[in-house]
């Protein structure tokens, strides 16, 4: 059963969570759902790729399952593993029973017992395949994983089924809505890209970012939201170690409102710069090039 019935409904459901999309992104999300195709979202860090998956889950009431990728991630952490401690306890219990004169299980029987559902530990990919409710599977920062994980994803996304040797093939009864994100730190394989619908997610245009701020922090005035967005965009034009994300734009506006500022004065910007910039080198560069004063330390 589809999560969305139209592009317009897609836009409305996402907007209800505070996530505002343009026509292109709304269309890609709708088609991904309608066609049963994974979405591959690429773009700089902090542009809202992860938040889109969360918004789809929140806006549709679906379950969100997240696989955070990192260097060294393996099949056991991504797909499944066996509860070896529990298996050992079962083996020891059977052995103790046999040693005390009870009936001991034959190895084949014991093997079938300890490699059963009772001892299976689901990891995110298997959990998403086995879920029987609407589910959003978020494979976050796919480009950080090793190529072996890409191979695992290819198998999963081809047929939406996985094979557990001891249990057989497990096929999805209800396909999850899959979102893969990438900060483009390395190129993903063409085979993986072919299985996905692609969208480039960049920082929003000023009008939309201002609308996002107002949606998430409605108590902030239109004027203050506009000033914050303008300042953030100026920071992103600098050669910063970590340019401000959309989430940090929202945080900055909320911080200024919390402190009672009705405009982004130089003093207010200097006082709250640590909300939007998280590295000392970036703060120094912003103060020098954007003329933001040091905070008052009296």
E strand intervals along the chain: 39-42, 63-68, 80-82, 120-122, 135-140, 161-164, 168-171, 177-182, 197-200
Confidence of residue 58 (pLDDT cuts 50, 70, 90): very high
CA angle 125, 131, 134 (to 5 degrees): 110
Contact present, 198 and 217 (Cβ < 8 Å) = no
pLDDT digits (tens, 9 = 90+) for 124-174: 999 999 999 999 999 999 999 988 898 889 988 888 988 888 888 899 989
pLDDT digits (tens, 9 = 90+) for 228-280: 999 999 999 999 999 999 999 999 999 999 999 999 999 999 999 999 999 99
Compute φ and ψ for 240, nearest 5 degrees: -95, 155
Percent of the chain with pLDDT over 70: 94
The β-bridge relationship of strands 80-82 and 120-122 is antiparallel
Contact present, 80 and 122 (Cβ < 8 Å) = yes
pLDDT on residue 104: 53
Lowest mean pLDDT among 7-16, 37-46, 98-107: 98-107
Q: How many CB atoms lie within 10 A of CB 263?
A: 10
Here the tokens at position 187 are 């190129």
Lowest mean pLDDT among 71-80, 93-102, 157-166, 263-272: 93-102
């Amino acid at each position: 059963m589809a999560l969305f019935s139209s592009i317009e409904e897609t836009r409305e459901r996402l907007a209800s969570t505070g996530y505002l999309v343009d026509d292109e992104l709304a269309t890609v999300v709708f088609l991904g759902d309608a066609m049963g195709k994974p979405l591959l979202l690429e773009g700089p860090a902090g542009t809202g790729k992860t938040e889109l998956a969360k918004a789809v889950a929140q806006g549709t009431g679906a379950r969100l399952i997240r696989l955070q990728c990192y260097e060294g991630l393996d099949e056991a952490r991504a797909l499944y593993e066996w509860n070896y401690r529990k298996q050992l306890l079962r083996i020891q219990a059977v052995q103790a029973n046999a040693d005390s004169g009870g009936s001991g299980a034959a190895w084949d029987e014991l093997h079938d017992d300890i490699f059963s559902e009772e001892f299976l530990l689901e990891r995110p990919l298997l959990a998403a395949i086995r879920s029987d409710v609407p589910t959003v599977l978020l494979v976050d920062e796919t480009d950080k994983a090793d190529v072996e994980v890409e191979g695992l994803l290819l198998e999963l996304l081809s047929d939406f089924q996985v094979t557990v040797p001891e249990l057989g093939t497990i096929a999805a009864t209800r396909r999850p809505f899959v979102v893969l994100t990438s900060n483009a730190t390395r190129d993903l394989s063409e085979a993986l890209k072919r299985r996905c619908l692609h969208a480039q997610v960049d920082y929003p245009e000023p009008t939309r970012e201002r609308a996002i701020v107002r949606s998430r922090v409605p108590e902030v005035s239109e004027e203050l939201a506009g000033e914050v967005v303008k300042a953030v965009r100026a920071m992103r034009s600098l050669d910063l170690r970590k340019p401000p994300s959309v989430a940090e734009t929202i945080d900055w506006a909320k911080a200024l409102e919390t402190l009672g500022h009705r405009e982004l004065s130089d003093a207010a910007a200097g006082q709250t710069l640590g909300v939007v910039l998280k590295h000392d080198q970036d703060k120094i560069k912003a103060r020098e090039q954007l003329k933001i004063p040091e905070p008052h330390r009296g």
